[in-house]
Structures are given as C-alpha cells and as structure tokens.
Amino acid sequence: MEHEQRNGDSSLHSRVGRLNGDTAERRPLQQLGEARRRQGLSVRCVAQRLNKTVGDVRDQERQDADILLSELYRWQAVLEVPLEELLQEPQDALSPRVMMRAQMLRIMKTARAIRAQARSESANRLARLLIGQLIELMPELKEVAAWPTVGHRRTADEMGRIAERPVPDDWMYEAS
C-alpha cells in the first residue's frame, strides 16, 4: 500500500485488480463507447447531453474506467438503451428490446394474415382475440398490415412494371 502511494497509483480499481491477481487481463467494466457507436452518436453530442467535456466522455468510455452507477444511469438516458447494454456487449446485433419488437411485429403480421384467410368464424374470432392482445402489449402494432399474399417477390435481376411501361417525362404536364 505504501508503495502504491509513493508511485501515485492509489486508485481503488488498480488495487482491486492486483488483489484479485487479474492485472494481466482485466475484464471490461462497461461498454459505453461501443453502445454510443451503435446508437450513431458522436462523442461531442454525448458530451453536450451529459454536460461534460469531450475529454471527460472519452475517459468514461475507456472500458477499464470505473464509473459511478449514477453516471451509468445518465449514459443510459442519453443513449436510450437498456442498462445491460452499457455493461456487456449484446449477444446479437440487435438489442433485446429491439429484437422483441421485431418478433412482435412478425407475430402481428401473421395474426393479421390468419384473420384475412380464416374460413371459419371460430378461427376469425381467435385471430381477432390474438390481434387485440398484441395491441394491448404494443399499441403501435395497431397499424401493422398482414404479410403480402398476392404475387411473388422479384429477384435482384427482375425488373418491375415501371421498367416495362415507363411513364413519359411530360406526364405531369398532361395531367394538369
């Protein structure tokens, strides 16, 4: 301990690292920089939102920076991500919240398609019930349409109808 104070290295983090014997390979304490980049925000923008200097933000983004929990909550509010994303790298490319929203969207599209193609009243009723429950969970699903049922998707090599029958350049003038 005296040796640490003489060398000016009295930070709690470095003492804990030495006590635990993990100085060779420390586990990252947080993922602030990675989370900021995933959100597409610049260091300067985050610094303004946190009311800090760019240097302070860069210091806090270091994975070995041991910052207060209250600071993590401030970063969470600025980045609008779950706290767990600030502490560990997400396992998927999407955050768990975004992944769940995507799954709910697919379920709603399927429920709408079932309702549109239901042949019996009981199947229609079940589909309506499922749609209602999904809207209770996530109100923005109210505007979601069913999966497309007509036609087929074009491949990258196929051209659409507009290529087969192009619209003349003077079409807008003729319409007025």
Q: Of 38, 34, 47, nearest to 78 (Cα)? A: 47
- Domain with 82 in it: what CATH number? 1.10.260.40
* pLDDT confidence tier of residue 60, bands split at 50, 70 and 90: very high
CA 88 to centroid of chain Cα atoms: 14
Sign of CA dihedral 143, 147, 150, 154: positive
- Predicted confidence at residue 21, as pLDDT, reads 46
pLDDT at position 97 over 80: no
- Residue 25 · residue 14 · CB < 8 Å: no
- Predicted confidence at residue 4, as pLDDT, reads 41
Greater pLDDT, 52 or 95: 52
Q: The whole model's pTM is what?
A: 0.41
Show the domain range for 22: 2-87
Q: Give yes or no: residues 73 and 18 share one domain.
A: yes
The number of domains in the chain is 2
Identify whether 166 is part of a domain. no
Identify whether 24 is part of a domain. yes
Q: Of 68, 100, 73, nearest to 86 (Cα)? A: 73
Q: Give yes or no: residues 10 and 75 share one domain.
A: yes
Instruction: Give per-residue pLDDT as tens, 123-149.
Output: 999 999 999 999 999 998 998 888 876
Greater pLDDT, 87 or 44: 44
173's tokens: 């003038």
Least confident of 4-18, 55-69, 126-140, 142-156: 4-18
Helices (H), the chain: 2-6, 12-20, 32-39, 43-50, 54-61, 69-79, 83-87, 96-117, 121-137, 161-164, 171-175
- Residue 146 · residue 115 · CB < 8 Å: yes
